[in-house]
């Protein structure tokens, strides 16, 4: 069974929650191994063309997405917390070596809770710096985009 909620929780948070028929360790791998992340991360027609992930507290991540017109968008961040198979927290408030980013936008808290029988309750909590940032993210299509990406995540992880 799959459930989903994408209701905002508080003024600055957007959430996506699903029960996925894949063990959390596999979902976590798909989030933390670059060769897996590029296969599912971006909803079509966009594609992820590169991922560099130093998955440890203080480690950096770089994800590059390509738009249909060929333009590329680079997103940089830093991992704040890493609990293998259970929890992953990262933010775009820093770009590396604790260097503040030009415009912090969000902190992402991912949890992978074991439901037994190879099933996981997956929660993506996206916490924005301002209400305006949350509204902008919602306007960009957070609910649809993160929903599609989560379907793709589950499909990739199921094959591991």
User: Using one digit for the tens of pLDDT, what is the confidence trace for 32-42?
Assistant: 999 999 999 99
**What pLDDT score was predicted for residue 9?**
54
User: Using one digit for the tens of pLDDT, what is the confidence trace for 65-118?
Assistant: 999 999 999 999 999 999 999 999 999 999 888 899 999 999 999 999 999 999
Tally of helices (H runs) and strands (E runs) in the chain: 4, 10
Question: Do 153 and 39 contact (CB within 8 A), yes or no?
Answer: no
Distance separating the N- and C-terminal Cα atoms of the chain: 20
Mean pLDDT of the chain: 93
User: Domain 4-158 belongs to what topology?
Assistant: Alpha-D-Glucose-1,6-Bisphosphate; Chain A, domain 4 (3.30.530)
**What pLDDT score was predicted for residue 108?**
98
Distance between CA 1 and CA 119 in Å, rounded?
9
Residue of 81, 77, 63 lying closest to 105 (CA atoms): 77
Lowest mean pLDDT among 5-14, 23-32, 59-68, 144-153: 5-14
Is the pLDDT reported for residue 157 higher than 80? yes
**What pLDDT score was predicted for residue 105?**
95
Average pLDDT estimate for 6-23 = 85
Q: Nearest-5° angle of CA 61, CA 62, CA 65?
A: 140
Question: How deeply is 1 buried, as exposed, middle or buried, from its count of CB atoms within 10 A (0-12, 13-18, 19+)?
Answer: exposed
**What pLDDT score was predicted for residue 152?**
98
**What pLDDT score was predicted for residue 101?**
94
Is the pLDDT reported for residue 6 higher than 90? no
């Amino acid at each position: 069974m799959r459930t989903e909620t994408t209701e905002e929780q508080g003024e600055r948070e957007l959430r996506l929650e699903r029960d996925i028929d894949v063990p959390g360790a596999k979902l976590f791998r798909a989030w933390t191994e670059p060769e897996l992340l590029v296969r599912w991360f971006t909803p079509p027609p966009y594609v992820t063309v590169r991922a560099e992930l130093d998955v440890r507290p203080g480690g950096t991540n770089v994800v590059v997405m390509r738009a249909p017109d060929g333009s590329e968008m680079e997103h940089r961040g830093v991992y704040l917390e890493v609990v293998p198979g259970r929890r992953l927290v990262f933010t775009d408030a820093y770009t590396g070596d604790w260097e503040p980013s030009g415009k912090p936008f969000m902190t992402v808290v991912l949890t992978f809770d074991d439901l037994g029988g190879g099933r996981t309750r997956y929660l993506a909590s996206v916490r924005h710096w301002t209400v305006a940032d949350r509204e902008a993210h919602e306007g960009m299509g957070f609910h649809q985009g993160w929903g599609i990406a989560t379907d793709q995540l589950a499909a990739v992880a199921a094959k591991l």
